[in-house]
Amino acid sequence: MSGPAGLEIRRLRVAFDGFTAVDGVDLEVRPGDLRFLIGPNGAGKTTLVDAVTGLVKAHGSVRFDGTELLGRSVHRISRSGIGRTFQTATVFEELTVLQNLDIAAGAGRGAWTMLRRRRSTPEPVVRALETIGLGDLADSPAGTLAHGRKQWLEIGMLLVQDVRLLLLDEPVAGMSHDERLATGELLERISTERTVVVIEHDMDFMRSFARSVSVLHAGRMLSEGTVAEVQADPKVQEVYLGHAPREAAADVAVQEV
């Protein structure tokens, strides 16, 4: 693995039929960061990640490890070492945990070769299994995993692909308290070797695990800094208290770190 790589976004703009969802955003994520991207509903968080991964047409500049990504295909962007998860885990439910990881790791190998039981498990798969803590469930069908564990498997599928930048969309949505904690610890481990950006609405989770935070509002970058800095920013307090969209979001402004 060639180590974590940074992301540098400049003047990013995404418009849908005249509506500007991302409106001139600058965002810099240094290699090895664990960055949380927060903001009220409709702020443009998912659209920003869609632009980075090539799913929507965007203007401006997105550089990853120094290379311009805008204009590249989804496939080429993913090959450059960027992977994402969505709110709903996309694992092969019928296949085992191990087979899911094996398939993700097996670009270039035939499907049947991968599905046949081999004598030894490839090293990156063993490491990913250990990192995501699913070693005991390696032979269980992914469909039988609890919701939280499916998310971890999906993260493992990015790890075996040697993704250097992980973009995770609300990874702890629907998780229990213990699963959230385990997920936070997993992200801390991962981000020692890779760069991680998390879109999140869960403010307790953000406060516990973010190394840095960016706040989007109405397509623009509202505030950036440490958790303490962002929480103390009157602009952030105003947006969250003004909208008060949900209790968890509103309390970003009123709780001390």
Interacting residue ranges for ligand ATP, rule: CB under 6 A: 16, 19, 21, 39, 41-47
Cβ contact 154:89 at 8 Å: yes
Ordered alpha helix ranges (H), 107-252: 111-115, 123-132, 147-160, 177-190, 203-209, 227-232, 234-243, 247-250
Q: How far is the CB of 106 from ligand ATP (least distance, A)?
A: 32
Of residues 42 and 122, the one with the C-beta less far from ligand ATP: 42
Find out whether 9 and 25 touch, Cβ atoms under 8 Å. yes
Other Cβ atoms less than 10 A from the Cβ of 249: the count is 20
Nearest distance from residue 88's CB to ligand ATP, in Å?
Answer: 13
Minimum CB distance to ligand ATP smaller for 16 or for 185: 16
Residue 33 vs 170, nearer CB to ligand ATP = 170
Q: Identify which of residues 44 and 83 has a Cβ nearer to ligand ATP in the complex.
A: 44
User: Which residue, 53 or 131, has its beta carbon nearer to ligand ATP?
Assistant: 53
- Rounded to whole angstroms, the Cα distance separating 253 from 63 reads 32
Min dist. Cβ of residue 70 to ligand ATP (A): 17
CB 36 within 8 A of CB 9: no
How many C-beta atoms surround the C-beta of residue 137 within 10 A? 20
CB of 41 to ligand ATP, least distance (A): 3
User: Quick count: other Cβ atoms within 10 Å of Cβ 116?
Assistant: 8
Q: In the bound complex, what is the minimum distance in angstroms from residue 230's beta carbon to ligand ATP?
A: 16
